[in-house]
Homo-oligomer: A and B are copies of this chain.
Amino acid sequence: MGAISEDDLIARFFAPIAGPGALALKDDAACLTPPPGCDLILTKDALVAGVHFFADDPPEAIARKALRVNVSDLAAKGADPLGFLLALALPIGVETDWIEAFARGLGQDAARWAIPLLGGDTVKTPGPAMVSVTALGTAPTGRMVPRTGVRAGDLLFVSGTIGDSALGLRARLAPQRFAALSQGARQHLLARYLDPEPRLALARALREHASAGMDVSDGLVGDLTKMLRSSGVSAVIRLCDAPLSDAAKAAVAMEPALFETAMTGGDDYELLVAASPQKAKELQDDARAAGVPLTLIGEAVAGAGPLRFIGADGAQMRFARGSFSHF
Residues 3-30 of A contacting B (Cβ, < 8 Å): 4-7, 9, 21, 23, 26-30
Contacts of A28 in B (CB 8 A): 43, 73, 76-77, 147, 214-215
Contacts of A38 in B (CB 8 A): 34
A124 in the interface (beta carbon within 8 A)? yes
Instruction: Give chain B nearest CB distance to A326 CB in angstroms.
Output: 6
A123 in complex: contacting residue of B32, B34, B127, B326, CB < 8 Å: B326
Contact string against B for A residues 116-158, beta-carbon threshold 8 Å, 1 for contact and 0 otherwise: 0011110111111010101011010100101110000000000
- Residues B326 and A42 in contact, CB atoms below 8 Å apart: no
In the complex, A39→B121 CA distance in Å?
21
Contacts of A87 in B (CB 8 A): 44-46, 87, 132, 134
Which residue, of A9, A29, A126, A134, has the highest number of chain B Cβ atoms within 10 A?
A29
Instruction: Give chain B nearest CB distance to A100 CB in angstroms.
Output: 15
In chain B, what residue has the closest Cβ to A144? B31
Residues 143-179 of A contacting B (Cβ, < 8 Å): 144, 146-148
Contacts of A42 in B (CB 8 A): 21, 29-32, 85, 118-119, 136
In the complex where A34-B40, A127-B125, A214-B28 touch, is A85 in contact with B326 (Cβ < 8 A)? no
- Residues A127 and B48 in contact, CB atoms below 8 Å apart: yes
A316 in the interface (beta carbon within 8 A)? no
Q: How many copies does the complex hold?
A: 2
Instruction: Give chain B nearest CB distance to A213 CB in angstroms.
Output: 8
In the complex, which range does the number of interface residues on chain A fall in? 35 or more
A194 in the interface (beta carbon within 8 A)? no
In the complex, A21→B48 CA distance in Å?
27
A258 in the interface (beta carbon within 8 A)? no
- Residues B327 and A126 in contact, CB atoms below 8 Å apart: no
In the complex, A128→B128 CA distance in Å?
9
A79 in the interface (beta carbon within 8 A)? yes
- Residues A124 and B26 in contact, CB atoms below 8 Å apart: no
A325 in the interface (beta carbon within 8 A)? yes
Residues 73-113 of A contacting B (Cβ, < 8 Å): 73-74, 76-77, 79, 85-87, 89
In chain B, what residue has the closest Cβ to A52? B123
- Residues A51 and B119 in contact, CB atoms below 8 Å apart: no
- Residues A39 and B44 in contact, CB atoms below 8 Å apart: no
A33 in the interface (beta carbon within 8 A)? yes
A310 in the interface (beta carbon within 8 A)? no
Instruction: Give chain B nearest CB distance to A206 CB in angstroms.
Output: 12
Contacts of A86 in B (CB 8 A): 44
A141 in complex: contacting residue of B33, B39, B43, CB < 8 Å: B33
- Residues A134 and B29 in contact, CB atoms below 8 Å apart: no
A181 in the interface (beta carbon within 8 A)? no
- Residues B125 and A130 in contact, CB atoms below 8 Å apart: yes
The 10 closest A-B pairs by CB, nearest first: A127-B127, A46-B87, A134-B134, A132-B132, A87-B132, A29-B43, A34-B34, A30-B42, A44-B85, A28-B73
- 12 A-B contacts (beta carbon < 8 Å): A6-B327, A21-B42, A23-B148, A28-B76, A28-B77, A29-B42, A29-B74, A29-B79, A31-B42, A45-B87, A87-B134, A126-B127
